[in-house]
Structure 1
Amino acid sequence: MRRPDLNILVILCAVYREGSVTRAAERLNLTQSAISHGLGRLRLLFDDPLFVRKGNRLVSTPMARKLAEEAGAGLERLEALFDPRSEFDPSTIARTYSLGVRDVLEASLVPPLADAMRGEAAQATLVSMHVRRTAMSTRLASGAVDAIVDVCLEQPEEVLSERILEEEFCVVARAGHPLACRQYDLDAYLDCEHVQISVRQEGDTFEDSKLRSLGHRRQIRLRCQHYLAAYNAVRDSDLVATMPRRLAEMFRESEAVQLLAVPFEIGRMDFHLYWHASRDADPGNQWFRKMVKRAVRFRPAV
Structure 2
Amino acid sequence: MNMQDIQLRKVDLNLLVALDALLSVEEVGLAAAKMGITQSAMSHTLRRLRELFGDPLLIKGKGHMIKTPRAEALAAPLRKALLELQQAVRIQSEFIPETSRLRFSIATNDYGDLIMLPPLLSLLSTQAPSIDIRVGHFDPEQSIAPLEAGSIELALCHPLKSATGIHQQTLFEDDFCCVTRQALPGIRSHLDLDTYLTLPHLRIAPRGDQRDPIDRALAQRGRQRRIALSIPNFSSAPMVVARSDLILTAPRRCILAWKNLMPISIYEPPLDLPCFSIAMVWHERFQQNPAHQWLRERLRQIASPSRNTQS
Alignment of 1:104-119 (within 5 A): 104-119=111-126
**TM-score normalized by structure 2?**
0.77
Q: Give yes or no for contact 1:250–1:300 (8 Å, CA) kept in 2.
A: no
- The verdict on how the C-alpha distance between 1:87 and 1:286 changes in structure 2, with shifts beyond 3 A counting, is same
Structure 1 position 278 matched with structure 2 position 277 = no
Q: Which moved more, 1:189-198 or 1:8-17?
A: 8-17
- The verdict on how the C-alpha distance between 1:191 and 1:129 changes in structure 2, with shifts beyond 3 A counting, is same
Q: Which moved more, 1:82-91 or 1:236-245?
A: 82-91
Q: Which moved more, 1:119-128 or 1:188-197?
A: 119-128
Amino acid at match of 2:37: T
Structure 1 position 180 matched with structure 2 position 180 = no
For the residue of structure 1 that corresponds to 2:94, the secondary structure is coil
Structure 1 partner of 2:213: 206
Alignment of 1:1-302 (within 5 A): 1-14=8-21, 30-31=36-37, 33=39, 38-51=45-58, 63-64=70-71, 66-83=73-90, 85-91=92-98, 93-133=100-140, 136-154=143-161, 156-181=163-188, 183-253=190-260, 256-297=263-304
**TM-score normalized by structure 1?**
0.79
- The verdict on how the C-alpha distance between 1:182 and 1:262 changes in structure 2, with shifts beyond 3 A counting, is closer
Cα distance, 1:143 vs structure 2: 1.7
Q: Give yes or no for contact 1:148–1:273 (8 Å, CA) kept in 2.
A: yes
Aligned residues: 301
Cα distance, 1:293 vs structure 2: 3.8
1:124-158, CA deviations, whole angstroms, 9 ceiling, x for partnerless residues?
43222221446532111112221222223335323
Amino acid at match of 1:225: P
Q: Which moved more, 1:264-273 or 1:123-132?
A: 123-132
Cα distance, 1:13 vs structure 2: 4.0
Taking the aligned partners of 1:245 and 1:275, their CA distance within structure 2 comes to 26
Q: Give yes or no for contact 1:228–1:251 (8 Å, CA) kept in 2.
A: no
For the residue of structure 1 that corresponds to 2:144, the secondary structure is helix
Cα distance, 1:266 vs structure 2: 0.9
Cα distance, 1:189 vs structure 2: 1.8
Cα distance, 1:64 vs structure 2: 4.1
Taking the aligned partners of 2:29 and 2:296, their CA distance within structure 1 comes to 28
Amino acid at match of 2:195: A
- The verdict on how the C-alpha distance between 1:47 and 1:123 changes in structure 2, with shifts beyond 3 A counting, is farther
Taking the aligned partners of 1:120 and 1:18, their CA distance within structure 2 comes to 34
Cα distance, 1:195 vs structure 2: 0.6
Q: Which moved more, 1:170-179 or 1:126-135?
A: 126-135
Cα RMSD, aligned residues only: 3.6
Structure 1 partner of 2:3: none
For the residue of structure 2 that corresponds to 1:199, the secondary structure is coil
Cα distance, 1:32 vs structure 2: 5.3
Cα distance, 1:241 vs structure 2: 0.4
Amino acid at match of 1:88: F
Cα distance, 1:239 vs structure 2: 1.5
Q: Give yes or no for contact 2:178–2:269 (8 Å, CA) kept in 1.
A: yes
Taking the aligned partners of 1:52 and 1:155, their CA distance within structure 2 comes to 39
Q: Give yes or no for contact 1:137–1:276 (8 Å, CA) kept in 2.
A: no
Taking the aligned partners of 2:243 and 2:156, their CA distance within structure 1 comes to 32
Q: Give yes or no for contact 1:175–1:256 (8 Å, CA) kept in 2.
A: yes
Q: Which moved more, 1:80-89 or 1:122-131?
A: 80-89
1:70-120, CA deviations, whole angstroms, 9 ceiling, x for partnerless residues?
344444444444455533344555454322211222223223333434445
Q: Give yes or no for contact 1:231–1:241 (8 Å, CA) kept in 2.
A: no
Q: Give yes or no for contact 1:192–1:219 (8 Å, CA) kept in 2.
A: yes
